[in-house]
């Protein structure tokens, strides 16, 4: 019996525009950072996909790593909502067929917008159509405009999509970052259409949680955007297993005179040795700020209340 053909890999990841093969079917292209792939990004991608369906073409995204601001203004760099491998994976899940991941350098930033239009778009990627966001600019000092593109690429239809607003404000990566930084992870979830999450490896701690009846996983994080100190209702999963309800404490543990910021997760109704495992934590709601208690007994009583509140929050929702 003949073997079934391999399933197509989505998205096809290309290391820069110079790697775009000549035989690649001309795509409908969009351009941007897409950090977090929030609802504003998905609003744009919906239009890209509709255009691609009309034209019988694949969907392609052109994006940068590192983000331009990291290179050009590191002092103003904002933490990434998610690392680029996860961004690429989410783009694939959103229906993107090809991701062109361009390495951004100071030398690249010096190219004028005319070069970008002629070389990157006109010669290398050769899109069948271009769909961009409401604030799209490109080239040196962000001086390139839609009008310039239409002059340089007159045979390529170019569409600009309006901003998506929720609660009277534009949905943006900056707005998501601000909410997470303020601890309002529930509001951030509305904009992301998913919980904000972090990932880390379980490392040895002082095992104090085990001694008070609430064993925790102490995480060494691989994340830039972390909510502030406090107690959170979360979903957690170990080594990409099933999502489990949990409570996370972020902070310095003032009751025990701690000093280093820690992320500790207690998975409800779970037992097991998970040292060295990778744990993902998806934030549902902030329950309270971190606080100092007069003694461990008072802390344990509060943790019991936190667990009850977390169960109520998580039972009212659903895992990521």
Same-domain pairing of 89 and 199: no
Q: What tokens does 86 get?
A: 């996860």
- Collapsing DSSP to helix, strand or coil, 110 comes out as coil
> The domain containing residue 110 runs over which residues?
12-170
Of residues 92 and 206, the one with the higher pLDDT is: 92
Same-domain pairing of 157 and 212: no
- 126 touches 40 (CB < 8 A): no
| Domain edge (last residue) among 135, 170, 205 | 170
Query: Does residue 284 lie within any of the structural domains?
Result: yes
pLDDT for residue 210: 55
What CATH number does residue 223 fall under? Answer: 2.40.30.30
Same-domain pairing of 20 and 161: yes
pLDDT for residue 7: 42
Of residues 261 and 150, the one with the higher pLDDT is: 150
Query: Does residue 2 lie within any of the structural domains?
Result: no
pLDDT for residue 69: 86
Query: Does residue 181 lie within any of the structural domains?
Result: no
| Domain edge (last residue) among 170, 203, 233 | 170
Same-domain pairing of 28 and 161: yes
Same-domain pairing of 27 and 149: yes
| 211 has a pLDDT exceeding 60 | no
Same-domain pairing of 155 and 19: yes
- Collapsing DSSP to helix, strand or coil, 155 comes out as coil
Enter the pTM of the model: 0.90
> What is the residue-wise DSSP string for 262-318?
EEEEEETT-----TT-EEEEEEEEEEE-----SSHHHHHHHHHHHHHHHHHHHHTS-
pLDDT for residue 318: 87
Each residue's pLDDT tens digit, 257-281: 667 788 999 999 888 888 899 999 9
Q: Structural domain tally of the chain? A: 2
pLDDT for residue 43: 97
Sign of CA dihedral 39, 45, 51, 56: negative
> What is the residue-wise DSSP string for 249-265?
EEE--GGGT--S-EEEE
Query: Does residue 183 lie within any of the structural domains?
Result: no
Same-domain pairing of 61 and 205: no
Query: Does residue 126 lie within any of the structural domains?
Result: yes
**Averaged pLDDT, 69-93:** 90
What CATH number does residue 98 fall under? Answer: 3.40.50.620
Band of the pLDDT at 212, cuts 50, 70, 90?
low
| 94 has a pLDDT exceeding 60 | yes
Query: Does residue 176 lie within any of the structural domains?
Result: no
pLDDT for residue 47: 98
Of residues 305 and 256, the one with the higher pLDDT is: 305
| 191 has a pLDDT exceeding 70 | yes
Same-domain pairing of 144 and 260: no
**Averaged pLDDT, 43-63:** 97
Same-domain pairing of 125 and 201: no
- 133 touches 38 (CB < 8 A): no
Query: Does residue 228 lie within any of the structural domains?
Result: yes
- Pick the range with the lowest mean pLDDT from 96-105, 109-118, 167-176, 248-257: 248-257
Same-domain pairing of 164 and 208: no
Query: Does residue 114 lie within any of the structural domains?
Result: yes
Band of the pLDDT at 254, cuts 50, 70, 90?
low
pLDDT for residue 209: 52
| 6 has a pLDDT exceeding 50 | no
Tell me which residue of 203, 193, 300, 223 sits closest to 256, measured CA to CA: 300
Band of the pLDDT at 2, cuts 50, 70, 90?
very low
Band of the pLDDT at 1, cuts 50, 70, 90?
very low
Band of the pLDDT at 208, cuts 50, 70, 90?
low
pLDDT for residue 141: 86
Same-domain pairing of 158 and 234: no
Each residue's pLDDT tens digit, 18-46: 999 999 999 999 999 999 999 999 999 99
Band of the pLDDT at 9, cuts 50, 70, 90?
low
Same-domain pairing of 146 and 284: no
């Amino acid at each position: 019996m003949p073997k079934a053909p391999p399933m197509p890999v989505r998205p096809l990841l290309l290391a820069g525009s110079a790697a775009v093969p000549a035989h690649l079917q001309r795509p409908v292209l969009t351009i941007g950072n897409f950090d977090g792939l929030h609802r504003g990004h998905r609003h744009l991608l919906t239009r890209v996909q509709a255009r691609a369906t009309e034209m019988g073409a694949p969907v392609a995204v052109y994006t940068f790593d590192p983000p331009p601001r990291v290179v050009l203004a590191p002092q103003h760099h904002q933490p990434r909502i998610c690392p680029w491998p996860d961004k690429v994976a989410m783009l694939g899940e959103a229906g993107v067929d090809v991701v062109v991941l361009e390495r951004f350098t100071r030398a690249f930033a010096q190219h004028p917008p005319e070069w970008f239009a002629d070389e990157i778009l006109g010669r290398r990627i050769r899109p069948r159509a271009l769909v961009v966001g409401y604030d799209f600019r490109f080239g040196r000092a962000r001086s390139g405009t839609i009008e310039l593109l239409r002059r340089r690429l007159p045979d390529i239809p170019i569409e600009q999509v309006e901003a998506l607003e929720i609660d009277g404000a534009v949905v943006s990566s900056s707005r998501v970052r601000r909410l997470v930084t303020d601890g309002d992870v529930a509001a951030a979830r509305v904009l992301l259409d998913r919980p904000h999450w972090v990932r880390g490896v379980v490392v040895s701690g002082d095992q104090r949680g085990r001694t008070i009846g609430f064993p925790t996983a102490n995480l060494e994080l691989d994340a830039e955007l972390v909510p502030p100190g406090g107690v959170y209702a979360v979903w957690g999963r170990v080594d990409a297993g099933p999502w489990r309800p949990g409570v996370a404490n972020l902070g310095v543990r003032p009751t025990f005179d701690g000093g280093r910021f820690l992320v500790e997760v207690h998975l409800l109704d779970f037992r097991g040795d998970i040292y060295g495992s990778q744990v993902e934590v998806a934030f549902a709601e902030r329950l309270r700020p971190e606080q100092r208690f007069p003694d461990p007994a008072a802390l344990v009583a509060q943790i019991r209340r936190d667990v009850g509140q977390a169960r109520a929050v998580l039972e009212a929702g659903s895992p990521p």
